[in-house]
Structure 1
Amino acid sequence: MPTAVHVRELTADDLDAAWELGRFAFGSDPQRPPHVTRPVPGLTRYGAFDDAGRLVGKAVDLHHDQWWSGRVVPAADVAGVAVAPEARGRGVARAMLTALLRGAHERGAALSALYPTVVAPYRACGWEATGVLRTVDLPTVALPRHRPDPRLAVRAGTPADLPAVAALYERVTRHRNGPLTRRGELFDFYAADGGLPGDGLTLVEDAGDLVGYASWQRGRGYGADSVLTVDEALASTAEAARELVGVLGSWASVAPTLRLCLLDGDAVSVHLPLASAREHERDLWMHRPVDVARAVAMRGWPAHARGTVDFALTDELAQWNTGTWRLTVADGAAELARIGGEADLRLSVRGFALLYAGAAHARSVAQAGLLQHAAGTDPAALDLLTVGGPVQLLDYF
Structure 2
Amino acid sequence: MDVRELTPDDLPAAWTLGRHAFGSAPTPPPHATTTPPGLTRYGAFDPTGQLLGKAVDLHHDQWWNGRPVTAADVAGVAVTPAARGRGVARALLTGLLRGAHDRGAAVSALFPTTSAPYRACGWEVAGALRTLDLPTAALPRHPPAPHLTVRDGGPADLPAVTDLYETVTRHRRGLLTRRGPLHDHPTDTLPTDGLTLVEHDGHLVGYATWDRGRGYGPDAVLTVDNALATTADAARELIRTLATWASVTPTLRLSVLDGDALTAHLPLEAFREHHRDTWMHRPVDITRAVTQRGWPTHAHGTVTFTLHDQLADWNTGTWRLDVAAGAAELHRTTTDTPLHLTVRGFAQLYTGTTDAETLRHAGQLHTTASADPRPLDLLAAGGPAHLHDYF
Report TM bin, short chain: over 0.9
TM-score by length of 2: 0.99
Q: Distance in 1 between matches of 2:183 and 2:270?
A: 35
Q: Distance in 1 between matches of 2:38 and 2:305?
A: 35
Q: Distance in 1 between matches of 2:34 and 2:188?
A: 20
Q: Secondary structure at the match of 2:150?
A: strand
* Aligned position for 1:289: 283
Q: Distance in 2 between matches of 1:262 and 1:212?
A: 14
Matches within 5 A, 1:20-99: 20-99=16-95
Moved more, 286-295 or 193-202: 193-202
Matches within 5 A, 1:301-320: 301-320=295-314
Q: Distance in 2 between matches of 1:147 and 1:185?
A: 40
Instruction: Write out the 4+ residue segments of structure 1 that deviate beyond 3 Å after TM superposition.
Output: none
Q: Secondary structure at the match of 1:269?
A: coil
Amino acid of the residue matched to residue 181 of structure 1? T
Displacement, 1:187? 1.8
- Quickly say closer, same or farther: Cα 1:213–1:77, change in 2 above 3 A: same
Matches within 5 A, 1:200-219: 200-219=194-213
1:160 aligns with 2:188: no
1:395 aligns with 2:368: no
1:112 aligns with 2:108: yes
Displacement, 1:186? 2.1
Amino acid of the residue matched to residue 261 of structure 1? S
1:144 aligns with 2:113: no
1:248 aligns with 2:242: yes
Q: Deviations over 1:3-56 (max 9, x none)?
A: xx2110000000000000000000001121101001110100000011221101
Q: Which runs of 5+ in 2 are unaligned?
A: none
Amino acid of the residue matched to residue 255 of structure 1? T
Q: Distance in 2 between matches of 1:196 and 1:39?
A: 23
1:327 aligns with 2:302: no
Q: Deviations over 1:339-396 (max 9, x none)?
A: 0143110000000000000000111111100001112111111000111111111110
1:9 to 2, 5, 8: 5
Q: Distance in 2 between matches of 1:60 and 1:158?
A: 31
Amino acid of the residue matched to residue 276 of structure 2? R
Q: Distance in 2 between matches of 1:364 and 1:80?
A: 32
Q: Percent identity?
A: 68
Displacement, 1:230? 0.3
1:18 aligns with 2:4: no
Q: Distance in 2 between matches of 1:194 and 1:374?
A: 62
Matches within 5 A, 1:217-236: 217-236=211-230
Q: Distance in 2 between matches of 1:258 and 1:139?
A: 6
Displacement, 1:185? 2.1
Amino acid of the residue matched to residue 223 of structure 2? T
1:170 aligns with 2:166: yes
1:134 to 107, 110, 130: 130
Q: Secondary structure at the match of 1:300?
A: coil
Q: Deviations over 1:137-184 (max 9, x none)?
A: 000000001110000000000111001000000000000000111111
Q: Which runs of 5+ in 1 are unaligned?
A: none
1:260 to 243, 251, 254: 254
Q: Distance in 2 between matches of 1:343 and 1:194?
A: 58
Q: Distance in 1 between matches of 2:108 and 2:238?
A: 33
Q: Is the 8 A contact 2:155 2:187 kept in 1?
A: no
Moved more, 178-187 or 11-20: 178-187
* Aligned position for 1:299: 293
Q: Distance in 2 between matches of 1:83 and 1:342?
A: 42
TM-score by length of 1: 0.98
Amino acid of the residue matched to residue 82 of structure 2? E
Aligned residue pairs, count: 391
Q: Distance in 2 between matches of 1:218 and 1:186?
A: 24
- Quickly say closer, same or farther: Cα 1:146–1:45, change in 2 above 3 A: same
1:124 aligns with 2:159: no
Amino acid of the residue matched to residue 168 of structure 2? V
CA RMSD, Structure 1 to Structure 2 (Å): 0.7
Q: Secondary structure at the match of 2:264?
A: helix
Displacement, 1:233? 0.3
Q: Distance in 2 between matches of 1:32 and 1:248?
A: 35
Q: Deviations over 1:86-112 (max 9, x none)?
A: 000000000000000000000000000
